[in-house]
Amino acid sequence: MTMYKNLPRPTVFAHRGASAYAPENTLASFRLAVQQNADAIELDAKLSADGHIVVIHDQTVERTTDGKGLVQDLPLAALKELDAGRTYDQAFRGERIPTLSEVFEAVGQQTFINIELKNYAAPANALPEKVAALVRKHNMVHRVLFSSFNPIALHRIHKLLPKTPICLLSIPGLAGAWARSPLGRWVPHQALNSAVRDLTKGLIARKQNNGYRVYVYTVNNPEQISRFLKWGVDGIFTDDPPLARRTIKAETR
């Protein structure tokens, strides 16, 4: 397994889609990210009560929809009744929580997709196996990357799809220090995804010398983006793909 050669570097990952301009983790935000020339989209995958892979960040639906409750307690039909657009802006009224399958159908052939395995509330559930099966079904084996803060989920999906690149997410601060250290080698991965606060020039150099790419999440500030680019970062997760593009252009001029 190696990182995709045709994934441009530095890579602009649209974090939860173009989430500075459209409601996060909706088809509207993913389509917009593609229009805005992001190199890849990032999304958060978890299971509904009846085992469908849905794309939503939080464990509950409250912040991003007009509903109430835990995603893992709601079946897909109930999740589909919720409006995932109007709490962001009335202009997006009617947007729904998408399934991963719907995202593949909408933009799967137009971009790379970083699927964050977000089974943190139920770390041993079948999310990795279900995602792997869906990726195969939709012929997306060479268009997706997996990431997670959950190392077990990454091990399990790597067994099923050994050629698909993996990004190890490091938890901000001390709790994620192991992932940024040589101990991280315990998890199969090609890229380390570091939080802004933990990223140093030295960390980038050390990881790159050991053959890893280094990505940083989540950066919406042009000065920070410039600094990380000067340090040689391989990719940026941003809510604002046009801002990242402009900054990369200015830095590489």
Binding site for Mg ion (CB under 5 A): 44, 116
In the complex, the smallest distance separating the C-beta of residue 117 from ligand G3P, rounded to whole angstroms, is 11
Q: Which of 15, 52, 158, 189 is catalytic?
A: 15
Interface mask toward ligand G3P for 57-86; x: CB under 6 A: x-----------------------------
Residues within window 168-227 making contact with ligand G3P, judged by CB under 6 A: 169, 193, 217-218
Nearest of 18, 12, 52, 55 to residue 33 by alpha carbon: 18
Gap between the Cα atoms of 187 and 129, Å rounded? 17
155 as an active site residue: the answer is no
15 binds ligand G3P (CB under 6 A): yes
Size of residue set near ligand G3P by CB under 6 A? 11
Is 57 labeled as catalytic in the residue annotation? Answer: yes
Q: Is the dihedral of CA 14, 20, 22, 26 positive or negative?
A: positive
Which one among 10, 192, 237, 238 touches ligand G3P, defined by CB under 6 A?
237
AA letter at 23: P
Residues 6+ apart with CB under 8 A from 51: 126, 130
Nearer to ligand G3P, 139 or 143 (CB): 143
**Partner whose footprint covers residue 39, from Mg ion, ligand G3P, none (CB < 5 to 8 Å by kind):** none
Q: How far apart are the C-alpha atoms of 84 and 66, rounded to whole Å?
A: 7
Nearest CA among 56, 32, 42, 35 for reference residue 11? 42
Name the β-bridge partners of 42: 15, 114
Shortest Å distance, C-beta 154 to ligand G3P: 13
Burial class (CB in 10 A: 0-12, 13-18, 19+), 108: buried
CB closer to ligand G3P out of 93 and 98: 98
Active-site annotation, residues: 15, 57
What residues line the site for ligand G3P (CB under 6 A)?
Answer: 15, 42, 44, 57, 116, 147, 169, 193, 217-218, 237
